[in-house]
Amino acid sequence: MDDIVNRFLKEEEAVIRVNEGEINLSNLEKEIPIGVRIILVGKKRKRIMDLGILSFIYKYCKNGKDFSRDYLDLSLSLEDIFKKYKVYTELEFLALCESEEKNNLHKDLIYVLNKLKSYLISKNKR
C-alpha cells in the first residue's frame, strides 16, 4: 500500500490508476490519508474511489470490512453494491456510518458527510 500512496504523491495527479489485485483488505488497515484517489482497473469495469475513506470505513464502521471487500471486488457492479448496502459509493457509506471516530475527521468533511447523510435519509424515505 505504501507504494500506491507514494505513487499518488510522486505523480502529483488527482487520481492514479491501480490494477485490480494490487490492493487487498489488509492494506486498508494502514494509515492512508483521505484524498488518495484511485481508479481501480479490472477486466470488466473500473471504479474510482478514495482509499483513505475506504480505509477509514474498513477500520471504524459497522460492516465496514464487508463493504470494503465488496467495493474492491470489481466483479460486483455498483447496482450490486447498492442492493446490499443501499449506497453507491464509499462517501455515501461513510456518511451513514455511526462511528465516533468520524468526529476526528476534518471539519469540512464532517459538514459534507452530515449534508449527504440528511439527503440519503430523506431519499430513502421517499
pLDDT above 70 (res 18)? yes
Residue 47 has what DSSP assignment? Answer: E
Classify burial at 98, counting beta carbons within 10 Å of its beta carbon; exposed 0-12, middle 13-18, buried 19 or more. exposed
Q: Which pLDDT belongs to residue 4? A: 72
Q: Which pLDDT belongs to residue 114? A: 96
- The number of distinct structural domains making up the chain is 1
Q: Amino acid identity, residue 42? A: G
Q: Which pLDDT belongs to residue 51? A: 94
Q: Which pLDDT belongs to residue 14? A: 75
Q: Which pLDDT belongs to residue 6? A: 73
Question: How confident is the model over 56-115, as pLDDT tens digits?
Answer: 999 999 999 999 999 999 999 999 999 999 999 999 999 999 999 999 999 999 999 999
Residue with the three cell numbers 470489481: 74
Q: Which of 44, 41, 42 is nearest to 16 (CA)?
A: 41
Q: H-helix or E-strand containing 56?
A: helix 51-60
2: confidence class by pLDDT, cuts 50, 70, 90? low
Question: How confident is the model over 21-67, as pLDDT tens digits?
Answer: 888 898 899 888 999 999 999 998 999 999 999 999 999 999 999 99
The parent domain of residue 30 ranges over 2-125
Q: Which pLDDT belongs to residue 87? A: 96
